């Protein structure tokens, strides 16, 4: 199913995303991205994870500048904005409040409609930003720091979750094992980087034996922890000496697990259009293994650019734009929500 192309539209939309630790603003015109500014908060690095109170304070500090920059890069002015979009959840409540309050303030002062967007729905629609011709339904593997789900995307507004993690998210599996190795937060990109020259089969780690399409990562984390502790007792510089091989083995185990579950999803649903979304979709091995599936299994794969994988306001703008085209706007009384199921 494709969007109704008969709708006449000429809409400039500004969207704001502040669900976690990235302050982001984007301007899109008729579905085309004109700017996508992301300011990542470095303050959390030294704490080994996102500190909610610090995140909301940093959003407050950054948001005016980020929105201003998004307008400048789009070569437009706030007075030209027709619609405001914002992330209403799921996410950190304090962080969401900053973005939603800012968006609502703009909507009131500009007298323009406002559209709230579910962060996860925006992630799974993100592959369409660069490829609006992808036909529904498609399978999306959503892998981020907070979520791991396999979703059938049936339309711009219909999503069926067919697999999910029962404990940690895939991004957490990367970040927590990286922490065990003494790497700073977020460890996912670093494991990816150090894996480049490593042997993926150097070490074997057990990973969640969960039936069907669900995932479990907590046992994997423990398996890495026990192995590293044991080796470090025998050789204090074990991690340092074998960092590439350890990272490569961790990355290989996680990616292999994700790909195996994706293969099961394709077999079960008969849908061979596959996309990935969320921060872990930036992982180079995951992208490579998916490309292989296109060759060997004839999957139709759509891999978004890095900037649309990690948290960004362009995906919020794109989702808001499509809701707006379908006549959906939001109420100023709508409150942000922390969890997916509390929509």
Does 121 engage in binding with Zn ion (CB under 5 A)?
A: no
Does 144 engage in binding with Zn ion (CB under 5 A)?
A: yes
Nearer to ligand KG4, 193 or 230 (CB): 193
Q: Which of positions 2-41 make contact with ligand KG4 (CB under 6 A)?
A: 20
Does 282 engage in binding with ligand KG4 (CB under 6 A)?
A: yes
Span near ligand KG4 by CB under 6 A; candidates 1-9, 105-113, 277-285, 314-322: 277-285
CB of 171 to Zn ion, least distance (A): 9
Q: Which of positions 191-220 make contact with ligand KG4 (CB under 6 A)?
A: 192
Does 142 engage in binding with ligand KG4 (CB under 6 A)?
A: no
Does 189 engage in binding with ligand KG4 (CB under 6 A)?
A: yes
Helix (H) or strand (E) holding 285: helix 284-296
Nearer to ligand KG4, 95 or 107 (CB): 95
Count other C-beta atoms under 10 Å from residue 339's C-beta.
9
269 exposure class (CB count in 10 Å sphere: 0-12, 13-18, 19+): middle
Does 311 engage in binding with Zn ion (CB under 5 A)?
A: yes
Q: Which of 156, 174, 257, 321 binds ligand KG4 (CB under 6 A)?
A: 174
Give me the residue label for tokens 């967007």.
Answer: 117
Does 304 engage in binding with ligand KG4 (CB under 6 A)?
A: no
Task: List the structure tokens of 133.
Answer: 């011709």
Q: Which of 145, 163, 198, 208 binds ligand KG4 (CB under 6 A)?
A: 145
> Cα dihedral sign for 324, 328, 331, 337?
negative
Count other C-beta atoms under 10 Å from residue 196's C-beta.
12
**291: helix, coil or strand?**
helix
Cα 77 from Cα 64, distance rounded (Å): 14
Does 311 engage in binding with ligand KG4 (CB under 6 A)?
A: yes
Cα 260 from Cα 155, distance rounded (Å): 25
Count other C-beta atoms under 10 Å from residue 271's C-beta.
16
Residues sharing a CB contact under 8 Å with residue 306, sequence separation 6 or more, in sequence order: 282
Residue 190 interacts with which of Zn ion, ligand KG4, none, CB < 5 to 8 Å by class: none
Do the Cβ atoms of 318 and 28 come closer than 8 Å? Answer: yes
* Rama region for 198: left / alpha / beta (φ>0; ψ in -120 to 50; rest): beta
Contact string 64-83 vs Zn ion (x = CB under 5 A): --------------------
Span near ligand KG4 by CB under 6 A; candidates 59-67, 156-164, 184-192, 233-241: 184-192
Do the Cβ atoms of 324 and 113 come closer than 8 Å? Answer: yes
Does 315 engage in binding with ligand KG4 (CB under 6 A)?
A: no
Contact string 253-292 vs Zn ion (x = CB under 5 A): ----------------------------------------
Residues in touch with ligand KG4 (CB under 6 A): 20, 144-146, 171, 174-175, 186-189, 192, 278-280, 282-283, 310-311
């Amino acid at each position: 199913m494709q969007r109704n192309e008969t709708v006449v539209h000429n809409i400039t939309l500004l969207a704001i995303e502040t669900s976690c630790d990235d302050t982001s603003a984007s301007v899109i015109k008729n579905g085309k991205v004109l700017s996508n500014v992301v300011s990542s908060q470095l303050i959390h690095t030294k704490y080994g994870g996102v500190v909610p109170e610090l995140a909301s304070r940093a959003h407050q500090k950054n948001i005016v500048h980020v929105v201003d920059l998004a307008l400048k890069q789009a070569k437009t002015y706030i007075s030209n904005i027709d619609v405001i979009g914002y992330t209403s959840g799921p996410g950190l409540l304090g962080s969401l409040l900053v973005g939603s309050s800012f968006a609502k303030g703009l909507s009131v002062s500009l007298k323009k409609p406002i559209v709230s967007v579910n962060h996860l729905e925006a992630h799974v629609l993100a592959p369409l930003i660069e490829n609006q011709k992808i036909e529904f339904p498609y399978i999306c593997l959503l892998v981020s720091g907070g979520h791991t789900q396999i979703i059938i995307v049936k339309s711009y507004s219909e999503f069926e979750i067919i697999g999910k993690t029962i404990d940690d998210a895939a991004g957490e599996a990367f970040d927590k094992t990286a922490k065990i190795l003494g790497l700073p937060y977020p460890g996912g990109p670093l494991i990816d980087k150090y894996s480049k020259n490593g042997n993926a089969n150097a070490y074997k780690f057990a990973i969640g034996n969960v039936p069907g399409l669900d995932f479990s990562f907590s046992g994997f984390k423990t398996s890495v922890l026990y192995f590293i502790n044991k080796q470090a007792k025998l050789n204090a510089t074990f991690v340092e000496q074998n960092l590439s091989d350890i990272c490569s083995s961790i990355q290989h185990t996680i990616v292999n697990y994700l790909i195996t579950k994706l293969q099961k999803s394709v077999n079960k649903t008969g849908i061979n259009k596959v996309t990935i979304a969320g921060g872990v979709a930036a992982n180079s091995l995951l992208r490579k293994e998916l490309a292989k599936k296109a060759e060997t299994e004839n999957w139709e794969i759509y891999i978004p650019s890095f900037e649309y994988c990690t948290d960004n306001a362009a995906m919020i703008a794109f989702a808001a734009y499509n809701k707006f085209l379908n006549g959906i706007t939001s109420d100023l009384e709508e409150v942000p929500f922390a969890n997916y199921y509390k929509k």
